[in-house]
Every structure is written in C-alpha cells, then in structure tokens.
C-alpha cells in the first residue's frame, strides 16, 4: 500500500518508517511511505507556506498554492507506484479536528485502497479553497486539540498498516477476527512467575487450552462491562461467544 504524507515536518515520520511493525512493513516493501514538504513547492525566497488570515484573528493560515503543487506531485508519485489515482482508490485525506472521528471499522475499510495522500495541517488550518478543490475526506482522532496533523496522520497510517494482510503474522490476525473486536482485552502475564509477591492465575499455567480460552474471554467480558458499558451495550456476540456467555451466566448462578 502506498502512503504520501504532505507535511512541513517530514522528519517526524521516522517514528513509523523506522520502528516496529510499520518499520518492518516498509523494509519488506509491503508499504511505501513518502513524505512531501510543501516548502519545496514555494517560489519566493522565504519559501513561505503560511500567511496572515484574511479577516484578521490570531495565528497563520497555510496557503493553497504550495499545497496544491505538493498534492499534484503526490498523485504523480502514487501513479508511479501503481496506484489508480482517483477518489475511490487513492483519496486525499485531510487530518482535521472538523473531520469524522477515526474508528476501527473505517480503518478496515481503508485497507482496501491502493494508497492514500494524507494532508497534515499546522497553525490555524489550511485555506478553504485548497480543501474544497482537493480533499476527499477529513478525519479527526477525537475531541481534543493537538498542535498539528502529523501525529494524527501517523496514528491513521499505523492503524491501517496493522490491518493489512500478511503484516501481523498468522496467529495475531486470527486472534484479531475472533474475540478481540468489540471487547476490551484480557490481562496478560509473562515471566517471572512471581512479581511483587503476586503469582500468575493458575489456569494460565494449566496447559488446558479450552479453560484458558474461557478464562480469557470471561476476563474480556468482565472488564468490558466494568470499564466500557457503552462497548458492552453495542457488543453483538457470535454464535460461539453467545454459547460461552450462557455458560458463564450459569456458572455465576452456582
Ligand atoms: O491538525 C490538527 N490539529 C491542529 C489544530 C488545532 C487547532 C486548530 C484551531 N481550531 C480552532 C477551533 N476549533 C474549534 C473552534 N475553533 C486547528 C488545527 C488535528 C488533525 S486531526 C486531529 N484530531 C484531533 N485533534 C486535533 O487537533 C487534530
């Protein structure tokens, strides 16, 4: 999958290009992440990419011209990487507090794209005429205020890359589909057996895989009910999970 990120701070993206699972995906060429700096598309000596807002008010606004040339360059690069460069296959996405809040379901939908061109704002925002001319969708991380769109862009790319096929190894993706979606995670334990006077739940040492799976699922249910009643309300168990829930309810009655 191809990602072009348009940002005045391209160095920030080393965070996902050089570390962890996303870094490995880049090394293995399953993913391409190119950073395009709008400053490279300015024509004045000061390489201006921002100006005072018309109508007055605090802060600066990012100018349309350098960003439009950066987007055109990104489209050319995307097509050179084999992307069908249209809204349906390689959308221009603007990370913005005014956008749709990112969710795991929209992340999964986005894994279908050939690529995406991600626009990162700074200052007070971007000239509206650039947005109306080029942007296909706006995405927010949620209702809190950050200093720019770069971290949100990295969060978006990280979550999409993680859901691409052949990225997370077989076991992980299998776990992904069965019990994880919709419930909080269960507790995890590893060596040493004792820590701060606390041992590990016996069932995890039993080697009895069915009991271990049941215990983990019951922990997920318990934690989701306790910490995220909203998720629990929305949770729709599979046939398999419904059976286990019935068994858990019966066990509780004893
Ligand atoms: O670029 C981002 N933020 C930088 C930023 C912060 C503040 C302002 C100015 N807003 C003034 C205002 N808002 C409402 C009324 N008046 C503009 C841009 C960003 C991208 S996705 C995302 N998701 C969650 N939070 C975020 O900040 C972001």
Bridge partners of residue 139, in order along the sequence:
100
Q: Is the CB of 55 within 6 Å of ligand 1? A: no
Residues 63-86, mean pLDDT to the nearest whole number: 98
Q: Is the CB of 97 within 6 Å of ligand 1? A: yes
Which atom of ligand 1 is nearest the CA belonging to 121? 1
Q: Give the architecture-level CATH label for domain 1-161.
A: 3-Layer(aba) Sandwich (3.40)
Instruction: Output the CA 58–ligand 1 centroid distance in Å.
Output: 14
- Atom 9 of ligand 1, residue of closest alpha carbon: 124
Phi-psi region of 47 (alpha: psi -120 to 50; beta: other; left: phi over 0): left
Q: Is the CB of 245 within 6 Å of ligand 1? A: no
What Å distances lie between residue 124 and 47, 65, 95, 119, 145, CA to CA? Answer: 19, 17, 13, 14, 11
Residues 102-125, mean pLDDT to the nearest whole number: 97
CATH of domain 192-250: 1.10.1270.20
Residue-wise pLDDT for 113-124, tens only, equals 999 999 999 999
Is the pLDDT confidence value at 238 over 70?
Answer: yes
Instruction: Output the CA 154–ligand 1 centroid distance in Å.
Output: 16
Residue-wise pLDDT for 216-230, tens only, equals 999 999 999 999 999
Q: ipTM greater than 0.90, yes or no?
A: yes
- Atom 28 of ligand 1, residue of closest alpha carbon: 97
Residues 17-28, mean pLDDT to the nearest whole number: 98
pTM (global) more than 0.90: yes
Instruction: Output the CA 151–ligand 1 centroid distance in Å.
Output: 12
> Domain ranges in the chain?
1-161, 192-250
Is 119 within 8 Å of 54 (Cβ atoms)?
A: no
Quote the radius of gyration of the chain (alpha carbons, Å). 23
Among the listed ranges 13-22, 67-76, 215-224, 245-254, which one has the minimum average pLDDT value? 245-254
Bridge partners of residue 62, in order along the sequence:
50, 126
């Amino acid at each position: 999958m191809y990602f072009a990120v348009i940002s005045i701070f391209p160095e920030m993206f080393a965070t996902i290009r050089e570390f962890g699972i996303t870094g490995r995906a880049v090394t293995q060429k399953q993913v391409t992440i190119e950073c395009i700096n709008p400053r490279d598309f300015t024509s004045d000596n000061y390489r201006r990419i921002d100006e005072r807002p018309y109508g007055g008010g605090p802060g600066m606004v990012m100018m349309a011209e350098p960003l439009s040339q950066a987007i055109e360059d990104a489209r050319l690069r995307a097509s050179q990487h084999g992307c069908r460069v249209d809204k349906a296959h390689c959308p221009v996405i603007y990370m913005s507090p005014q956008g749709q809040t990112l969710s795991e379901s929209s992340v999964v939908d986005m894994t279908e794209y050939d690529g995406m061109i991600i626009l990162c704002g700074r200052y007070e925002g971007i000239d509206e005429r650039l947005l109306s001319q080029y942007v296909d969708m706006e995405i927010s991380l949620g209702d809190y205020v950050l200093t720019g769109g770069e971290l949100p862009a990295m969060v978006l790319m990280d979550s999409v890359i993680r859901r691409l096929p052949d990225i997370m190894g077989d076991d992980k993706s299998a776990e992904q589909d069965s019990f994880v979606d919709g419930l909080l995670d269960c507790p995890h334990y590893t060596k040493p057996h004792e820590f701060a006077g606390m041992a590990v739940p016996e069932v995890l040492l039993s080697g009895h895989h069915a009991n271990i799976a049941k215990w983990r699922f019951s922990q997920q249910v318990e934690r989701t009910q306790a910490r995220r009643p909203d998720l629990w309300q929305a949770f729709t168990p599979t046939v398999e999970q419904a059976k286990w829930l019935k068994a858990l309810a019966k066990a509780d009655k004893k």
